[in-house]
Amino acid sequence: MNPDTKIILRDLFRNEERSFDFHMPFDDAIDVRAWGRAYLAENTLIIHLNIEYTGKAVCIICNEKFEFKSRRKEQYITEEVENIPSGVYNLENDIRDAVILETPRYQECCDGKCPDRTFVKKYLKP
């Protein structure tokens, strides 16, 4: 567990808000940067999250490896304090879910304009 991804509630009770900015390797193929702030509104933990990541994929047209970048901005996560019995909220699963939801299952190199597309175009549905 990455210690940077933990939000400790007792710190939020003392302070009004906690800002965070960290890098987190998702796996060998994706490097994630997340930043934002966390605060309490009555009995609810509110996390304002921005995620930027670089990943590696294989083009569905030419089968070459390439890097891609993506960003998920202005995501809010809310959790009732009573649902966090340990007093520590871990952002790792929320970040992982956001990356999985944001990343297309099939990707094409050159921002969707693979140079080999002309060779396989006759085999694709119009």
Residue, of 6 and 96, whose pLDDT is higher? 96
Instruction: List the one residue out of 47, 39, 59 whose CA is nearest residue 97.
Output: 47
Q: Mean pLDDT throughout 28-46?
A: 87
Where exactly are the structural domains of the chain? 3-123
Whether the per-residue pLDDT at 26 is higher than 70: the answer is no
- Written as six digits, the tokens of 3 are 């210690």
Q: Mean pLDDT throughout 32-54?
A: 90
Whether the per-residue pLDDT at 104 is higher than 70: the answer is yes
- CA–CA gap between residue 89 and residue 7 (Å, rounded): 5
Q: Mean pLDDT throughout 99-110?
A: 87
Whether the per-residue pLDDT at 53 is higher than 60: the answer is yes
Whole-number Cα distances in Å, 62 to 20, 52, 66, 116: 39, 26, 11, 6
